[in-house]
Amino acid sequence: MIQLNIREPIWKTRSIGIRDSLKFQGEIAIKIAYKDKAGNKVYPGTYLIKGDKLRDYPIQKVRGLSLRIVPIRELEVYGEVHREVQQADKGVGV
């Protein structure tokens, strides 16, 4: 699993930008480091997206870089996804 750290989201669209030149395979774990004035992380979780799904998102030029713009609401929350899979494997909630 590849891990990415995003300093700050794109506030206007509540999205993140992932460089298009990086050709990812498999799952990508994303952490958004931005903190509010009180020092609390605005997006405290770890988020997941599959590398091949990135092609579905539009490209935008930001400061000379081609970025895939991915809405944060479309990312999977790491803990929730894996908890559901573990529960399904154990027959819980099925």
pLDDT, tens only, 3-30:
999 999 999 999 999 998 877 788 999 9
Q: Name the residue with tokens 């970025």.
A: 67
pLDDT digits (tens, 9 = 90+) for 35-44: 999 999 999 8
pTM of the model: 0.77
Counted domains in the chain: 1
Question: Domain range holding 74?
Answer: 2-90
